Every structure is written in C-alpha cells, then in structure tokens.
C-alpha cells in the first residue's frame, strides 16, 4: 500500500478479506484493528513449526513500509513496545515472533530485507539468528533439514525456501546455497552435516 491510511482502509474493507490485529504507521502510530483474542486474516495459507492455519494461532502486525526503505525509528520503537506487551500477555517466546515470509515462503516477502530482526533479537523480542559463518558446502537436503528444524515447514520449492531464510536471517546473502545459509538459521550449527 502507498500509505498507512490506504493500508488501514484495505484492512478494514470486508470485500478485501484481509485484516490484522495491528497496523503501525511510519510515524509510529499504532492502530488496533482487531481485538487480540479474535481471529484476523493477515497470514493466509502457510505453515510454521508444523502448524497450518496461522491466522487462528497468531497476532498479526502490519507495518507501513513498501520494502524499499529502512523502517523508521518511531515505527520500530512502537513495534518493540507493542511486542513486549503481546509476548507478556500471551506468554509467547521470542522464537514465536515470525515474518509473513517465514510462514509462506515464495508467496510472501514481508517485512523484507530491510527489517531489523537483529535489533528485536537483542531485546529478546524475536529469536536470534545463528552465527552465519561456515566453509561447508551444504546439500539441499541438509539445508531443508536445518530449515525444518528452525520452523520452516510450509510447502516451498528450494529457491523460495532459500529466499525466505535469507530474508529473515541473512538478507545480504546472494548466489547459490552456501554453508552460511545453514549456519544463519537458529541452531544452524546443529544441522545435519553435508553429505
């Protein structure tokens, strides 16, 4: 969407069949659109940690950002405050904070490569990435096993899965699959060895 107002209008339009619990504008304004205990329709088809129907088991937060620029300081500060409350109220571990791109590889790319996951992880508001350094050349099977262990259980082809993992854990990564892609995953150092 081109603005937070346009996003709000779409998220509140019954014809659009999409909604979210919260929308945070680029200026940091937090709008609650759906009560937390109620189901919103932000996730769509996908899976995480073997569960599908993510809409029924999540609180959706949309951020006013088209993915072409960094997220603003006021927006990130508001997100951090909102996440602290949600995680405490619902007893959600930091590892339970995921991106749309995590649960729907290939179909969703948000919040995108400019989102500062490391900032959230340093505050215990998202799970950390792995160390990301490895000289090992992995197999596709080893990468899939590590990604599945990290929670990536949605159906996705190899390219979409690699893109989703990189969006979250290694947004600067380019080129073919490499050992750093496995090591960047949480517990990537415990991944099965490459064959």
Is 72 among the domain residues?
A: yes
Integer Cα distance of 28 and 4 in angstroms: 10
Report residue 191's pLDDT band, with 50, 70 and 90 as the boundaries. Answer: very low
- Classify 122 as helix, strand or coil: helix
Is 46 among the domain residues?
A: yes
Please check whether residues 63 and 12 belong to one and the same domain.
yes
Last residue of one domain, picked from the residues 89, 122, 155:
122
Last residue of one domain, picked from the residues 69, 88, 122:
122
Segment 51-69, tens digit of pLDDT: 999 989 999 999 999 888 8
Q: Which pLDDT does position 194 carry in this prediction?
A: 37
Instruction: Give mean pLDDT, residues 137-141.
Output: 90
Report residue 7's pLDDT band, with 50, 70 and 90 as the boundaries. Answer: confident
Please check whether residues 18 and 96 belong to one and the same domain.
yes
**DSSP assignments along 80-120, one per residue:** HHHHHHHHHHHT--GGG---HHHHSBTTB-TT-TTS-HHHH
Please check whether residues 36 and 82 belong to one and the same domain.
yes
36 carries an active-site annotation? no
In this structure, the strands spanning 30-32 and 22-24 are: antiparallel
Please check whether residues 33 and 89 belong to one and the same domain.
yes
Please check whether residues 75 and 32 belong to one and the same domain.
yes
Segment 14-55, tens digit of pLDDT: 887 889 999 999 999 999 999 999 999 888 899 999 999 998
Last residue of one domain, picked from the residues 122, 152, 182:
122
Is 185 among the domain residues?
A: yes
Q: Which of 62, 73, 80, 163 is catalytic?
A: 62
Is 135 among the domain residues?
A: no
Is 75 among the domain residues?
A: yes
Integer Cα distance of 89 and 36 in angstroms: 10
Please check whether residues 115 and 164 belong to one and the same domain.
no
Is 160 among the domain residues?
A: yes
Integer Cα distance of 112 and 99 in angstroms: 9
Please check whether residues 38 and 77 belong to one and the same domain.
yes
Please check whether residues 118 and 152 belong to one and the same domain.
no
- The length of the chain is 195
- Domain containing 178: what range? 140-190
Q: Which pLDDT does position 78 carry in this prediction?
A: 98
Please check whether residues 86 and 30 belong to one and the same domain.
yes
Please check whether residues 63 and 27 belong to one and the same domain.
yes
Quick one: CA torsion of 163, 82, 80, 103, rounded to 10 degrees? -10
Could you tell me the CATH number of the domain that includes residue 115?
Answer: 3.40.80.10
Please check whether residues 78 and 147 belong to one and the same domain.
no
Is 195 among the domain residues?
A: no
Is 130 among the domain residues?
A: no
Domain total for the chain? 2
85 against 194, higher pLDDT: 85
Residues in CB range of 15: below 8 A, 6 or more apart: none
Please check whether residues 100 and 184 belong to one and the same domain.
no
- Classify 9 as helix, strand or coil: helix
Which residues are 105's β-sheet partners? 108
């Amino acid at each position: 969407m081109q603005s937070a107002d346009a996003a709000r209008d779409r998220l509140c339009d019954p014809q659009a069949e999409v909604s979210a619990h919260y929308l945070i504008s680029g200026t940091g304004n937090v709008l609650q659109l759906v009560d937390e205990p109620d189901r919103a329709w932000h996730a769509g088809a996908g899976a995480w940690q073997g569960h599908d129907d993510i809409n029924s088991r999540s609180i959706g937060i949309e951020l006013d950002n088209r993915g072409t620029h960094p997220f603003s300081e006021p927006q990130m500060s508001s997100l951090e405050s909102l996440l602290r409350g949600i995680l405490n109220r619902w007893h959600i571990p930091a590892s339970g904070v995921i991106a749309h791109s995590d649960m729907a590889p290939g179909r969703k790319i948000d919040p995108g490569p400019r989102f500062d996951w490391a900032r959230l992880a340093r505050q215990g508001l998202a799970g950390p990435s792995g160390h990301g350094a490895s000289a090992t050349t992995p197999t596709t099977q080893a990468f899939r096993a590590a990604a599945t262990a990290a929670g990536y259980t949605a159906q996705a082809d190899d390219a979409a899965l690699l893109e989703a993992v990189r969006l979250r854990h290694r947004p600067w990564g380019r080129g073919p699959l490499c050992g750093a892609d496995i090591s960047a995953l949480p517990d990537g150092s415990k991944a099965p060895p490459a064959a």
